[in-house]
Structure formats: C-alpha cells, structure tokens
Structure 1
C-alpha cells in the first residue's frame, strides 16, 4: 500500500488527455516540511544547528546574500527590475500576506521560500517585525484542488489557499505581538540593506 501523498487526486491531464486515475508522485522530487524548515534555519541561524547540518562552504558574506534575497521585496530588486503592479510587496509571501496585492505590515520582513504546484501551496518562513522585536518561524502546506483533477490549472489558490495561509500567518503574528518574552531577540543580522 502506498504512503499518503504518493498518489493524489482522482484524475490528471497529460498531453491534453484526461487520465482517470490518481497522479503518481512517487518519482517526483520530495522534501519534507521539517527538512525545508531545517534548511531555512541553517541559513538564518547557522550557529543554532549542529555543525554537521551547517553549510560548510558558505562564508558570512554568502549568508548575508541569502538572507537579503530571501526577504527582498520585488520593488527592491535592481536586477531584474519588477513591475510593482504585477509583483506587489506581498508577491510570494503567502504566510501573513498572501492574497490580493498589498503591503506587508510596517517593520515586517519575511524570509521565506514558497512552492506552488498541482494544487499545493507551501510557505516556509521566518517572519520578523523589526519595529516591535517580534520573530517566529512558521511553515505550512495546504492542498486546494476541489475538483481533484491535477495538471488542469484549475486550483483553489485564490479562494482557499492564499486566504488560509494569510490568516494563519496573521493569527500567529498577533499571538506573538501579545506574548510576553523573557528575552528580547537580537534582530541585528536581519536589518539588511536592499538599495545596493
């Protein structure tokens, strides 16, 4: 019997034909959500992971580069330049900001990597509010494909997926704003320049 997730949906399109059986994902790329979050943690906080889990060849300059590009807004990119109407500040920032075009909350930076395919949305994020000294890591995957047909480009991203991830991020963010802290985080390494 296959593990959950190897066969998805009721049918799928392939070469313009409808195949009336679940799509087999057993030969597709796979990374678990905990593994993805560990990679993000190793980039953002290398000293907080065991030595064998660190990226041994990366220099401090490399880490700054990665942090900068994981959190850069499209309008801050110099190469390439992005049209702000097509690529608003919340583009590819599903948790806390997914959905219709709009700004992030003031002082907030989201260091993340997203995925979007076959009705799945994933966001693996470290969210910081540099003005309020709030930080948290959050990762989530949601499958939004009501018709259960894969590869047809008819998914429920806008109506179900993005609103869910936005609301999930907002709920955790609101909780973190209110939660008492014994230690104030040092967010200095995340105050980056984006105009270079």
Structure 2
C-alpha cells in the first residue's frame, strides 16, 4: 500500500527502465478526479485494447468514448513498444473487481479466482492498455511484450514490489478476458527476471 507517484516520478521510473515514452496532451493533469479515490496504490493491471492502429488506440484511451470518459489507463503500449502516457491519477480502466484478489495482491500471494465485483480497482491500480485486437490471433511483437514487462517492472521497482503485484484485467473482474494471447503467469515470470 503506497501513495501514488507524482507525474515526474512516474515518467522517471519508466525511462529508468529503458522505455521509449511519449507524453500525450495534458496527461499530467488528465484524470477522473472527483469521481472516486486515487490511492493507496497496490499494483499494476494489464489490459488489451481490442483496437487496431497506434494513433486511434492512443486517442481513444486518452479521450474515452460515450459512457466511459478518458483517460482509460495511465499508459498505452503500442505494438512498436512505445509507452504513450495518457493519464495521471484516477483512470477508468479497472472498474469494480474482487476484494479477495486485491488482498492477495497486497500480500503478494497467488491470486484466487475472481468471482465478485465489490472493490474499486480504479483507486488501487496503475493501468496499461496494450494495443491488440484481443482475438487470440493478433500477434504480440517482442518489442511490445518487452515494453509491457518493463513498464510493470518500473512500477514494481519504485515501490519495492515483486511480480505478484502485477495482474491482468481478467484476474480482477469476472467476465473479462484481457489480456488475451499470453498468460499472466508467463508475464509475471518475465517481470521477476527483470526485477532480479
């Protein structure tokens, strides 16, 4: 459990991990303040966007869409491995999820199945939306996977967390399938290697 990073700390953590970062619009002050808490922070959540094309993906994650205002995450990771920062503070990415999963993340233990939606995840997780159709066939380029690993590791390193603080949307909210195309256990294994 920890306070949110400042915009400068967030940017510095990502760059220190060797990531190529693009700052989009007014990302430093772009958030859902006034619509719920932001913090304490407990982890990192990974999503796929179900979109195609870097520019369109970044734009929808910054602006949101009817019924779900942006930002829809903190960073968008496009197929070329670039991290596009679109929000700082509360973002509409996690929604309500399982409090037992949050307890496991805080304790850095193996996750239980998610079968409830009783806890506000937007308050507790940094979120990365990753450009992918999410159909199980759209490829995940090596550059993008490496960027996902490094972005998650950057946050874990800042807070002194292990890979157990990184979860997929599908592990948080019943009915979600993202990210699709790799397993979260595989991703956590790669993050653990980076954190050694």
TM range (shorter): under 0.3
Structure having the higher strand fraction is: 1
TM-score of the superposed pair, with normalisation by structure 2: 0.25
Structure (1 or 2) with the larger CA radius of gyration = 1
Higher relative contact order (CA 8 A, sep 6+): 2
